[in-house]
Amino acid sequence: MKKPFLIVGLGNPGVRYAETRHNAGFWFLDRVAGLAQIGLRAQSRLQADVARTRLHGHDCLLARPRTFMNHSGQAVRSVMDYYGVEPESLLVAYDELDLSPGVARLKAGGGHGGHNGLRDIFRHLPDHGFLRLRIGIGHPGNKDAVTAYVLSRADAADEEAIRGSISEAVDVLPAVLAGDLGAAMKKLHTVSDHGI
**Cα separation of 52 and 132, whole Å?**
20
**60 alpha carbon, distance to own chain's centre:** 14
Residue 27: name the closest of 124, 128, 164 by CA: 164
**Cα separation of 127 and 8, whole Å?**
16
- Compute the 3-state secondary structure of the chain and give helix, strand, coil in percent, each to the nearest 5: 45, 20, 30
- Determine which one of 22, 56, 58, 139 is catalytic: 22
**Cα separation of 70 and 116, whole Å?**
5
- Cβ burial, residue 13 (10 Å; 0-12/13-18/19+): middle
Q: Which residues contact 115 (CB under 8 A, 6 or more apart)?
A: 94, 95, 96
Q: Is 58 a catalytic residue?
A: no
Residue 101: name the closest of 147, 140, 44, 144 by CA: 140
Phi, then psi, of 11 in degrees rounded to 5: 175, -170
Query: Which residues form the catalytic set?
Result: 22
